[in-house]
Structures are given as structure tokens and as C-alpha cells.
A and B are shown apart, each in its own frame.
Chain A
Amino acid sequence: MAMSVSTGLPPDAPVIAPDLTMTSLSEQVSARVLSERAPLWWHIGFAVGFMLLTLLIVQMAWLFINGIGVWGVNIPVAWGLAISEYVWWIALASGGTIVSALFFLTRSPWRSATNRIAESMLLSAAPCAGLMPIMHLGRPGLFYWLFPYSTVMGVWPQVRSPLWWDFICLICYILMSVMYYYTGILPDLATVRDLAKSRSKQILYGILALGWRGSVRQWQNQRVVYAIMSAIMAPMVISVHSVVGLDFAGGLTPGWHDTQFPPYFFFGAVISGTALIMMLTIMVRWGYGLRDVLTEYHLNAMAKVMLVGSLLLAYAYVWEAFGPFYGSDVAEKTEFLRRMFGFTASAFWSEKILTVVIPQLLWLPSVRRNQPLLFLISTGIILGMWQERFVFVTSSLEHNYMPSYWGHFFPTFWDWAALAGTIGLFLTMFFLFLRFVPIVSLAEVREIVEEKRSK
């Protein structure tokens, strides 16, 4: 692993604090899991998340009793907030795999301390994404009809449809992410097991660690499988988000019917996922007092990934504008002009400012070291990406081929309740991860500690 600090980093930003040892690392991180009482901010965050989760349950009950008419979706805009937020959540989740798998393959040293946060985020965001299309089904209880198994009814899903591809991608993605996560966390669970004082925690982590001993054979197996899994997860996540893009590109609606959307969506995942990891990393760093492990080096590196993401997105935006005017389709042109200057204009322009213009501040090293500012920029990116998905989904349906068929989308209270509720589900799950599993990959950071010691 190349540990040189020569890539334009400030000399005061080492990967980990110089006085961090293997002993202090294990004890610091495990103490957060093993302490009897969680800190106050954890209780506040969990309470907020749990209240919103309750709202989600109420919303789902109301929705399932009354049907999706409680949302603002109707003809012509039959895909509203739920589908936009499906795309938004899956992009946030994908960012976790990008940071974790892609940067494992590049052997980036900053990935070691942040990958657990990224993967916990991914596992918390993916169910939020999966819930959205299920809630959007007219008969959600029948979603299992999408599974390709031979039912007694003799009815099969239409496997030529991007919507079915999407379902398969999401299911496979969640299952694979769980296995990837568990492969990585196994040695750390053993650390917690060996540090646990109370009998109940010894038993809990003893079972979770599956009896991991850290023998040479086990490390060999774990490392080789983890490396191959990373090499699989990286193209996997690209395929997941590209297929989400195909859901739209496969439709004939103006504004959607374009081959650029698979990469366009993926670029959005790079920037918004990294932005969320940035926010969570800053939160964990201060809340859990892990400033020795999560240093400015990590924030600096993630800020650069965000900057690259915003440039990629800018490129996609240029093509989004170029396409309608290069082609000869009047409907495409009309739709795009309405998107820019019509009903959705405010969201359209603020999204461009939040995801492309403001992130250009990250060129400045002083901004990359300013944590409050990084937190704000990341929040802005996530809000901007939400607006982008919203404009993309609704504006196209608002301006279909026939002007007599045009209409607008107005979200109802229950639309917003679904958004707030899934944020609650995300927060609840992430705070549970914070409380019950080591939030930094101990085994991998130990290698960095060791490398520094032996130098």
C-alpha cells in the first residue's frame, strides 16, 4: 500500500494520528460499541430517526388501506416522489459501494477507515430504496410475482423489461452487500468479542464472530475472497445504477428516451453517495471522538471524489442539453425548454447550482479542510440530487407528446411523509449500526498503524 503523502496533501494531514497504536485503536473503537450508555447525541439522533420511522409506518398503513391515490400521482404524472426517491436512495446507497469496493481495488489508504461507515450507510439506504417501488405498486402484497420462479399460476414476469432487471439488480445488490459487509467485519466482531466484559455481550459477539481466530489460514481465505468480492462489487454497483437509468431510457417519454442516462445516473451516485458518507464521517468523527482515526486526510480525499463527481455530472448535464437540440424531435426540445424555464425551473436551476457550481469550491485546499463548510456543501449536493431526480421524473411526464395531455404534479402530505419516513428508516438503521458494530474497520487500520511503525 503506497502511503506517501505526496498527492498535494497539506503536510499536517497524515492518514491517521501519529500516536495511534493498535491497542488504543481497538479500545477506542470497541468502547463505542461496548459502553453501557450511548452518548446524548446518539439518543437524540436515534429518537428523531425512530419518530420518523413511525411516520413511515403510519404512512404505509394509510397508503395500503386507501391505495396510491393518497399521493399526488395521477395521469399524466403517474411517477411522482416515490420513484424519484427510489432513484435518489439507490444513488446514495451505491456511493457506499463505490467508496468501499472501487477504492479497495485502487488500494487507497483513506478507504480503510471510512469503508465501514460507507457500507453501513449502504445497508441503511438500500432498504429505503427498495421500499419505494413496493409502496408504489397498486397491490404491494403481490410484489413477489417479480421473482422468477415457476408458480402454480403459470405466470412469469416479463424478463425483457428494464423494470424487471431493476428488481433483480436491487435484490442481488442487497444480498451481495450483506455478504460483502460480513466478510469485512468478521475479524472486527472477534475483537469486540474478546474485549466484551458482560456475559450477554460476550455471547452476542461470540455468535456474531462465528468463532473467528485470526489464524493464518483464516486471514488468507478472508483476504482472497474479499479482494475478489471487491472486484465484483465495483462493476456490480455500476450495473445497478445503470439499470435504474435504463428504466427511464427504455421509455419513450421525451426527456427520458436517451442512451446517456445509465452513466448519467451513475455519475449522480458518485457525487451524492460520497456526499452522504462525508456527512456521516464528520458526524462520527466528532460524535464518537475518533479524530485520531478519521483524520483530515479522509475528508480531503472524499472532497476530491465529490469534486470529480460534480465534474462528471456537469459533463452529463451538458449532454442532457445537447441531445434535444441536436436531434429533430420537437417534443424533446419542448420538454427540455419547459424543464428549464417552465413549472420546474426553480428546482432545475437550484439543482445545477448545488451539484455543479458550489462543489467547485472544493478546488481550494482550505475548503477541503473546513469541516463545517464540507458538511454544508455535502448537504447541498444531496438536496440538489433530490431535486434533480424529482425534475427528471416528473417534468418529462408533465410534457408528453400531446399538449392536450399535459398536467402538473403536486405532492400531497403523504408524499412528503414517505420521504420523511424513509429518512427515519435510514437514520434508525444507521444509528443502530453505530451502536452495535465497530464503525471503523479495525483490521485494516491496524495494517496502516503497523506500516507506519515499521517504517
Chain B
Amino acid sequence: MTELCGIVAEFNTPEALTHAAAQLRRSGFRAFEAYTPYPVEGLDRIIRPGRNMLLPLLMFGAAILGAAWGYWIQYWDEALNYPLNVGGRPHNSWPAFMVGTFEFMLLVTVAAGFFGMLAASGLPKLYHPLFEARSFERASRDRFVLCVERADPRFDTDAIRRVFEEHGAQRIEEVRA
């Protein structure tokens, strides 16, 4: 028999979803997640409160590393590995290295942001149990979906259903995988 993963509810409006999520949090639930077609304002304060500085810090660190890498490539080339006297300029002619340093810095920063975003979001992950839910089909279009996961210590099917119904859920279903 397939295993229960969670209970999913589909809402018509972002307000209904936000209120239901707030109610769940007040009732002590912790392992629930919302799936929306666009970032709904205020929802992140209910589901993932607190400032998440991981990605900005990652990108900042990458910027420093990228600049160092870019400068080092040019310094190694022009001053150490293949020193060439061009019009009497110093081998380490740093002003001329700035463009390369700048571009490498930005490239590494953007790459860190891109791959960091995927990693922090758990992507790529082509299959997820939630894809089995019928209500999830429209979560990328025009519906707002809330899912309480089985992992929640207070997981109780009836209590969750009651919260969902109270806030006007259009469809409630159990996700199994």
C-alpha cells in the first residue's frame, strides 16, 4: 500500500490560503508548505519567518572569490608565467587588469546565485509526491495550494481537514506516493 505523504487543500484566493496557513501556525503545525503561482505577499512571514541571508551571502562570497580568481589569472599570465615588456609598463599593471577582474567577478557571482538558488530550492528534482495530487495541477496557474506534511509531529487528518474547510478550501485530498 502506498504511504501517506500529506494532506493538500486547494484555495481560490491568496487571502484564503494565507488565513488558513496562519491558522495552522497558530494551532502549532510546523511542517506545511504553500504552492502558489506567484510569490504571495506575507505568506513567507507565516511559513518561513525570519531573514534568510544564505543566498545573498553566498553571492557576496562568490564575488570576492571571482574577483580574486580573475585578477590572479591575469597576474599569473602577465607577471609570473609570461612576463612581457609592453612599452615599459610594469608587469603587474593593475589598472589594465580591472576589466577582466570585474567581468570574472560578476560571472562567478551570477553563477553562484543561479546554482545556489537551485540547490537551496532542492532542484532539479523531476519527481515529487505532490505531483500526484489533482489540486496541484493548477498551482502553477491560478490556484493556491497548501500541504500539511505527514512529518509534522501534530499531524491529525481530521483537525487539518477542519481548518481547511473552515477557510473555504475547494478541494481536499490526501497525497500518497
Contact = CB atoms under 8 A, between A and B. Distances in A.
Interface of A: 21-23, 26-27, 148, 150, 154-160, 162, 164-165, 168-169, 172, 175-176, 179-180, 182-183, 187, 190-191, 193-195, 206-207, 210-225, 228-229, 232-233, 235-236, 239, 243, 442-444, 446-447, 450, 454
B51 to A, nearest CB: 10
26 contacts: A148-B73, A148-B77, A150-B81, A159-B74, A160-B96, A175-B111, A176-B110, A179-B114, A190-B140, A194-B139, A210-B118, A210-B123, A210-B125, A211-B123, A214-B35, A215-B33, A219-B36, A219-B38, A221-B121, A222-B121, A223-B39, A225-B59, A225-B116, A232-B106, A239-B103, A446-B38
A154 to B, nearest CB: 7
B142 A23 contact: yes
Nearest to A155: B82
Overall SS of chain B's interface? helix
A156 B37 contact: no
B33 A217 contact: yes
A159 B123 contact: no
Contact of B14 (A158, A183, A191, A450): A450
B113 A229 contact: yes
B141 interface: yes
Contacts of A158: 84, 86
Contacts of A194: 137-141
A155 B82 CA distance: 7
B1 interface: no
Nearest to A193: B140
Interface stretch (B23-31, B126-134, B154-162, B167-175): B126-134
A232 B96 contact: no
B43 interface: yes
B113 A21 contact: no
Contacts of B117: 183, 221-222, 225
B89 to A, nearest CB: 7
A154 B82 contact: yes
Contacts of A217: 33, 48, 120-121
Among B14, B36, B37, B93, find the residue whose CB has the most chain A CB atoms closer than 10 A. Answer: B37
A179 B111 contact: yes
Cβ-closest 10 pairs across A and B:
A210-B124, A219-B39, A22-B142, A160-B96, A165-B99, A211-B125, A179-B114, A156-B77, A446-B38, A225-B117
Among B82, B96, B117, B139, find the residue whose CB has the most chain A CB atoms closer than 10 A. Answer: B117
A228 B35 contact: no
A156 B124 contact: no
A424 to B, nearest CB: 29
B81 A450 contact: no
Contacts of B166: none
A235 B139 CA distance: 35
Nearest to B63: A232
A215 B73 CA distance: 40
A165 B99 CA distance: 6
B164 interface: no
Contact of A160 (B89, B118, B127): B89
Interface in B45-77: 47-48, 52, 55-56, 59, 73-74, 76-77
A300 B12 CA distance: 34
A443 B128 contact: no
Given A165-B103, A213-B35, 12 more contacts: A157-B77, A168-B103, A187-B37, A194-B141, A210-B124, A211-B126, A212-B140, A213-B136, A214-B139, A218-B122, A220-B52, A236-B103
A262 B33 CA distance: 49
Nearest to B75: A159
Given A179-B114, A212-B123, A232 B109 contact: yes
Nearest to A190: B140
A177 to B, nearest CB: 9
Contact of A224 (B15, B55, B128): B55
